[in-house]
Amino acid sequence: MSWQNVHQLYAGLSLIVCLPVHAWLARRHCTFGGQSAPPRVEGILLLEPRGLGFALMITAFSLLSLSSSAVLAHMVPLQSGLGLGTSAALISSLSVGHRSPVG
């Protein structure tokens, strides 16, 4: 199975599994008729520093994504240099990142 077929299979499974779940959650949280809206949640930051707080949050997420990508990009050559091979790189890359089933 080629990598293109693997991505198509993953996309198909995501649609089959995630689309009904998202539709169910969207229908469940809608308000109809006389029901009131959910209560408003106030943030803990004051109005003036919220822009700075948002910029810091975006910077932190970007740096986290950059460092994770850098680790994953260098993992295969690093482990090949240690003599572990590509299967060890595959297993260790499964435990890193936002889609990790292990970690």
Does position 60 have pLDDT exceeding 70, yes or no? yes
Q: Are 79 and 88 in contact (CB under 8 A)?
A: yes
Asked, for residue 81, whether it belongs to a domain, the answer is yes
Asked, for residue 77, whether it belongs to a domain, the answer is yes
Give the number of domains in the chain. Answer: 1
Asked, for residue 80, whether it belongs to a domain, the answer is yes
Whole domain around residue 89: which residue ranges?
A: 71-97
In this predicted model, what pLDDT tens digit does every residue of 31-46 receive, in sequence order? 555 566 667 788 788 8
Asked, for residue 79, whether it belongs to a domain, the answer is yes
Q: Are 63 and 70 in contact (CB under 8 A)?
A: no
The pLDDT-based confidence of 56 (bands split at 50, 70, 90) is: very high
Residue located via tokens 């080629």:
2
